[in-house]
């Protein structure tokens, strides 16, 4: 039986359920489809093997991975968040010994350092540090990816989580396009985020579930939108629930404490709590400055919430304005307010968009769709 190996920088365990949990969802689905998949986490620490939900996880450094690959033949090695260390084991094999390789490109590992500029403009030392890392970290990673995409001694395919992520972020960063690539989105789990029909009153209930750890999550825009909405006559009819945690939570939400209808829930929201929150709301206010896909928006759509967000990065590939959600330009608070205003004034459209959103996102990124495409890439089409 053919064996497959997944290598990543992290994998969920009982101690850390949410560390790259989307990888576990994939591995379980591959197993359900009959693939034998082993998992290795690249680490410099000495960690004993762990077992999580039927998956055996091994922890190795790059040299151990090299020995392991010499001793174990895999048809395909799948890599997530690839870097030179992770690839060392492949390079240590002769050309004839090398397995097929699939590299998933998710985000930060394949983007220009300056795309998230707002995350290091808090103070000068942050900016200086980013500029230092430009030469020591970001540039070597770029060179590594460029080489990986142009080498002719590898049987390698690349998977991008969205077309726009590839075209807007990765391609111009690396400067080349690999010969073999496929666009496959991250899974939006329809079993967990089940569609729940919304009524007209649900459009008055607006939630936001975002990390408050960095400015790309644009929670400051959420706060500005609410403040602008407070000038509307119908504001008191609206109810907002803001969930999340991080160093920016208090800074950003302090100004919202004046509103009785804005409820602040500071704390990390576990994934299994999210569907319950989705069930109680009709609009997902999730502005963004940077997204390769926008998974949390997709999950809300799957549950039947209408997303209100920005037309940046990969997001417009999943949300069609006024059909499956509401899109505003980058950082455009007024347009976002107008979009919520539109939903308030058009309850029928809201209900239609709610249904459309769920159907559309499941068609694009539902479990079956994604896994079938991935298995096709992993198993077939190798020369």
Give residues in contact with other proteins (CB under 8 A): 114-115, 117-118, 121-124, 127, 167-168, 171-172, 175-179, 330-331
Of 27 and 156, CB closest to other proteins? 156
Interhelix angle for 333-345 vs 219-229, to 10°?
60
* Least Å from the CB of residue 183 to other proteins: 13
Nearest distance from C-beta of residue 226 to other proteins, angstroms: 21
Number of H helices, E strands in the chain: 14, 14
8 vs 310 by CB, closer to other proteins: 310
CA pair distance 315, 214, nearest whole angstrom: 18
Structure tokens at 25: 């969802």
Alpha-carbon distance values, 138 to 146, 217, 375 (Å): 12, 22, 31
Rounded least distance, CB 121 to other proteins, Å: 5
Taking the complex as a whole, the smallest distance from the CB of residue 75 to other proteins amounts, in Å, to 25
Judged by CB, which is closer to other proteins: 44, or 123? 123
Rounded to a whole number of angstroms, the minimum distance from the CB of residue 167 to other proteins is 6
The b/e string for 127-145 (b: 16+ C-beta within 10 A; e otherwise) is eeebeeeeeeebeebbebb
- In angstroms, what is the minimal distance from the CB of 175 to other proteins? 6
Name the residue nearer to other proteins (CB basis): 114 or 345. 114
Residue 65 β-bridge partners = none
Least Cβ distance, residue 113 to other proteins (angstroms): 12
Q: Where are the alpha helices (DSSP H) in the chain?
A: 21-32, 62-71, 84-91, 124-133, 139-150, 163-164, 171-174, 219-229, 249-253, 274-279, 295-303, 333-345, 347-365, 367-379
Residue 114 near residue 89 (C-beta atoms within 8 A): no
Q: Whole-number minimum distance, CB 87 to other proteins, in Å?
A: 21
Centroid of chain to Cα 354: 22
First to last CA, the chain: 19
Instruction: Name which of 184 and 283 has its Cβ closer to other proteins.
Output: 184
**Which CB sits closer to other proteins, 93 or 121?**
121
DSSP assignment of 179-191 equals SSEEE-PPP--TT
Burial class from Cβ neighbours inside 10 Å (0-12, 13-18, 19+) for residue 125 reads exposed
Choose between 275 and 316: whose C-beta lies nearer to other proteins. Answer: 316
Closer of 167 and 320 to other proteins (Cβ): 167
- Classify residue 305 by its DSSP letter: P
Q: What is the phi/psi pair of residue 40, to 5°?
A: -125, 135
- Owner of token pair 């395919």: 157
**d(C-alpha 146, C-alpha 377), whole Å:** 21
Residue whose CB is less far from other proteins, 123 or 380: 123
Q: How far apart are CB 291 and other proteins at their closest, in Å?
A: 13
């Amino acid at each position: 039986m053919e064996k497959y190996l997944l290598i990543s920088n992290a994998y969920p365990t009982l101690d850390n359920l949410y560390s790259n949990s989307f990888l576990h969802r994939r591995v379980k689905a591959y197993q359900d489809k009959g693939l034998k998949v082993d998992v290795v986490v690249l680490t410099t620490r000495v960690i004993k093997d762990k077992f999580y939900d039927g998956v055996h996880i091994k922890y190795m450094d790059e040299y151990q991975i090299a020995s392991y690959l010499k001793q174990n033949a895999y048809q395909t090695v799948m890599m997530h968040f690839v870097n030179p260390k992770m690839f060392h084991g492949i390079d240590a094999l002769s050309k004839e010994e090398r397995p097929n390789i699939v590299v998933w490109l998710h985000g930060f590992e394949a983007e220009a350092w300056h795309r998230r500029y707002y995350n290091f403009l808090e103070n000068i030392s942050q900016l200086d540090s980013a500029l230092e890392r430009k030469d020591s970290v970001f540039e070597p990673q770029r060179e590594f990816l460029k080489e990986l995409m142009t080498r002719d001694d590898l049987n390698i395919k690349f998977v991008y989580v969205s077309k726009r992520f590839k075209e807007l972020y990765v391609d111009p960063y690396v400067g080349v396009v690999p010969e073999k690539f496929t666009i496959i989105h991250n899974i939006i789990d329809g079993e967990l985020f089940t569609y729940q029909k919304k009524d007209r009153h649900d459009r008055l209930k607006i939630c936001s579930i975002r990390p408050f750890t960095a400015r790309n999550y644009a929670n400051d825009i959420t706060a500005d939108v609410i403040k602008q909405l407070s000038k509307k006559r119908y504001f008191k009819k609206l109810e907002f629930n803001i969930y999340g945690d991080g160093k920016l939570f208090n800074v950003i939400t302090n100004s919202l404490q004046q509103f009785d209808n804005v409820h602040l829930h500071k704390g990390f929201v576990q994934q299994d709590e999210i569907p319950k929150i989705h069930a109680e709301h009709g609009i997902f206010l999730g502005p963004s400055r940077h997204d390769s896909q926008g998974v949390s928006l997709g999950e809300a759509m799957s549950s039947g919430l209408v997303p209100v967000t920005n037309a940046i990065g990969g997001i417009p590939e999943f949300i069609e304005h006024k059909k499956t959600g509401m899109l505003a330009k980058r950082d455009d608070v007024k347009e976002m307010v107008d979009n919520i205003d539109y939903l308030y004034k058009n309850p029928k459209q809201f209900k239609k968009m709610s249904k459309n959103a769920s159907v559309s996102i499941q068609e694009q990124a539902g479990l079956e769709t994604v896994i079938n495409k991935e298995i096709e890439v992993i198993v077939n089409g190798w020369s």
